[in-house]
Amino acid sequence: MVTVGFIGFGIMGSPMATNLAKAGFDVVGFNRTPERVGALASVGITLATSIEALVRASDVIITMLPDSPDVESVALGESGVFAHAAPGLLFVDMSTIRPDVAAHLAKEAASRGIDALDAPVSGGEAGAIEGSLSIMAGGSSQAFERARPYFEAMGRTIVHVGPPGSGQTVKAANQLMVAANLQGLAEAVVFLEAYGVDMVPALEVLGGGLASSTVLQRKSTNMLERSFAPGFRLSLFTKDMGIIQAAAREKGVTLLLGSLVAQTIASLVARGDGDLDHSAMIRVVDELSK
Amino acid sequence: MVTVGFIGFGIMGSPMATNLAKAGFDVVGFNRTPERVGALASVGITLATSIEALVRASDVIITMLPDSPDVESVALGESGVFAHAAPGLLFVDMSTIRPDVAAHLAKEAASRGIDALDAPVSGGEAGAIEGSLSIMAGGSSQAFERARPYFEAMGRTIVHVGPPGSGQTVKAANQLMVAANLQGLAEAVVFLEAYGVDMVPALEVLGGGLASSTVLQRKSTNMLERSFAPGFRLSLFTKDMGIIQAAAREKGVTLLLGSLVAQTIASLVARGDGDLDHSAMIRVVDELSK
């Protein structure tokens, strides 16, 4: 039986690993805070005491971590995955990190005979629990085909978008579009409220025309109720805006809207709203208005 | 039989009037350029020689005109609709105009015993032809119920959103959200192209997650091919951005993103791109990038 080594049991990683176990894979976990993995024993996920032990037990390693330095440390650190990997290992990072870091990891992996993919996801906690994530993978076609059975246990729209780093590039574009759609919705809601329009029918008719979006369908209730339990935290969203701004600068691409939303999101995090859902972007519009 | 007087046979008005005639209403038309209406004789639309004659023949008047001054002139002018209307007429303006002008027209109508509605639409030329428009109506419930049979001949999502002017307020919000989603998509496309990502699978996976929108589904091909035949002209879009900016200022609502997209759209019109489709917003991103 194939053994999947899974590293990173946060809001996203825990349900993703659970879906792998439910699909019949033998899942071994490693987490910097082992208590979290312990709670997954009920679905048959066991715990390794070190990355070394995890790598020796696994045919594939999947990581789901907060940020680029976390992935670099887990993959390239002295007691990390690559230090203990035998040639032929499949390494799939599903975190959202910098495209250049993903490309660098793929290069390091290749020099050791490891097949690497960057395969970030969209769809949030709900998509992770339902197994309906969108998965955007960068790397070789061969590595993508090897990873497909695992992706199918976690996601619904599974696409190979190009060479190493491409998955992260597409994810960065995804986050930019989500931020644009959220900011547009937030400004529309505050504007309509100021005019005393009936909001429920208004949002219904906006959802029936060219203004419709998944953000409108999923996030307008949070905005109307000013209820911002995460969901997807602004502290992670501001990290993602940093990723796309740096990546755009690198290629000489100017993102006017990208800069604006990066600033509004950063301002919320700076004043202590980092643990709120990203629908809290409406707070900036509220506070700049009467 | 109920007679519908229809004023304004442009890209939107012509198919809307055609759908009313096909639904079995007796449609009489008036247009400042009568040739256009003449072409609709095949669906049984006849032509009145003056607004006075049109109003005397009709139980309801529907207008579909480019801008606020056009509607003011047709409704309030010396030889306009209100000058010749008997009490009990239903007046439905489906143009996209300023909410304060719509509210003013409703007040003038009420003082003459006319039932008035502002009922702008979303869905574009395709929606007008298919009869699948989204219709957002402001005015009394009684006037809305009187107008419902006509709306059902032209649209699919038909919603009463509040008192006079509310339809225009919701339409303004619609245009703001469309502009936000277009600008976000444009920046994402230029960014992904700069990285050499495979665009078709990338857009497929973006359309499967939280970044998805009707704009992404309908406008990404125009953007990828840089093919900007209208569709919805930038010259009308810049008028709409003026409407929402003025209406927001009136109520003390600050639209950071609204201002940014208003500027990028205005810059395209200023340099002569007013007759292009609004997907041409990607031109600004292209020109500000390498």
> What are the chain A neighbours of B290 within 8 Å (beta carbons)?
251-253
Please answer yes or no on whether A124 and B210 come within 8 Å at the CB atom.
Answer: yes
pTM: 0.94
> What are the chain A neighbours of B176 within 8 Å (beta carbons)?
184, 187-188, 191
When pLDDT is cut at 50, 70 and 90, the band that residue B38 belongs to is low
What pLDDT shows up at residue B260? 98
Active site residues of A: 171
Residue in A185, A208, A285 nearest the CB of B134: A208
> What are the chain A neighbours of B256 within 8 Å (beta carbons)?
183, 187, 260, 264, 284-285, 288
Q: Any idea where the domains of chain B sit in the sequence?
A: 3-162, 169-288
Residue in B124, B201, B252 nearest the CB of A159: B201
> What are the chain A neighbours of B198 within 8 Å (beta carbons)?
161-162, 166
Please answer yes or no on whether A290 and B166 come within 8 Å at the CB atom.
Answer: no
Q: How far is B56 from chain A (nearest CA, A)?
A: 34
When pLDDT is cut at 50, 70 and 90, the band that residue A38 belongs to is low
- Chain mean pLDDT for chain B: 96
Residue B33 pLDDT > 90, yes or no?
Answer: no
> What are the chain A neighbours of B166 within 8 Å (beta carbons)?
195, 197-198, 202
Please answer yes or no on whether A135 and B205 come within 8 Å at the CB atom.
Answer: yes
What pLDDT shows up at residue B39? 74
Mutate to test the interface with B, among A203, A206, A218, A224 (most CBs of B within 10 A): A206
* pLDDT tens, position by position, B11-25: 899 999 999 999 999
Please answer yes or no on whether A210 and B124 come within 8 Å at the CB atom.
Answer: yes
Per annotation, catalytic residue among B171, B239, B251, B290 = B171
What pLDDT shows up at residue B248? 98
> What are the chain B neighbours of A215 within 8 Å (beta carbons)?
210, 213
When pLDDT is cut at 50, 70 and 90, the band that residue B35 belongs to is confident
Please answer yes or no on whether B176 and A191 come within 8 Å at the CB atom.
Answer: yes
| DSSP category for residue A61 | E
Which of A109, A110, A115 lies closest to A137 in space, CA to CA? A115
- Chain mean pLDDT for chain A: 96
* pLDDT tens, position by position, B253-286: 999 999 999 999 999 999 999 999 999 999 999 9
- Taking residues A111-122, report their average pLDDT: 97
ipTM: 0.94
Tokens of A129: 């629990």
Residue A17 pLDDT > 90, yes or no?
Answer: yes
Residue in B187, B213, B244 nearest the CB of A214: B213
What pLDDT shows up at residue B203? 97
Q: What is the DSSP string of chain B?
A: --EEEEE--STTHHHHHHHHHHTT-EEEEE-SSHHHHHTTGGGT-EE-SSHHHHHHH-SEEEE--SSHHHHHHHHHSTTSHHHHPPTT-EEEE-S---HHHHHHHHHHHHHTT-EEEE--EESHHHHHHHT-EEEEEES-HHHHHHHHHHHHHHEEEEEEEESTTHHHHHHHHHHHHHHHHHHHHHHHHHHHHHTT--HHHHHHHHTTSTT-BHHHHHHHHHHHHT----SSBHHHHHHHHHHHHHHHHHTT---HHHHHHHHHHHHHHHTT-TTSBGGGGHHHHHHT--
When pLDDT is cut at 50, 70 and 90, the band that residue B40 belongs to is confident
Fold of A3-162: Rossmann fold (3.40.50)
Mutate to test the interface with A, among B200, B257, B283 (most CBs of A within 10 A): B257
Residues B93, B117: contact at Cβ < 8 Å?
Answer: yes
Please answer yes or no on whether B191 and A201 come within 8 Å at the CB atom.
Answer: no
* pLDDT tens, position by position, B76-124: 999 999 999 999 999 999 999 999 999 999 999 999 999 999 999 998 8
What pLDDT shows up at residue A231? 84
Please answer yes or no on whether B195 and A166 come within 8 Å at the CB atom.
Answer: yes
Which of B45, B16, B48 lies closest to B31 in space, CA to CA? B48
- Taking residues B181-204, report their average pLDDT: 97
Residue A39 pLDDT > 80, yes or no?
Answer: no
Please answer yes or no on whether A184 and B185 come within 8 Å at the CB atom.
Answer: no
Residue A71 pLDDT > 80, yes or no?
Answer: yes
- Taking residues A144-159, report their average pLDDT: 98
Residue B36 pLDDT > 80, yes or no?
Answer: no
- Taking residues B130-147, report their average pLDDT: 97
Residue in B192, B202, B248 nearest the CB of A191: B248
| Domain B169-288 in this protein, CATH class | mainly alpha
Residue in A172, A214, A257 nearest the CB of B257: A257
Which of A134, A105, A132 lies closest to A118 in space, CA to CA? A105
Residue B129 pLDDT > 70, yes or no?
Answer: yes
Please answer yes or no on whether B191 and A123 come within 8 Å at the CB atom.
Answer: no
Residue B37 pLDDT > 90, yes or no?
Answer: no
> What are the chain A neighbours of B185 within 8 Å (beta carbons)?
177, 180
Residues A165, A100: contact at Cβ < 8 Å?
Answer: yes
Q: How far is A43 from chain B (nearest CA, A)?
A: 27
Q: How far is B37 from chain A (nearest CA, A)?
A: 28
Nearest CA in chain A to B232: A210
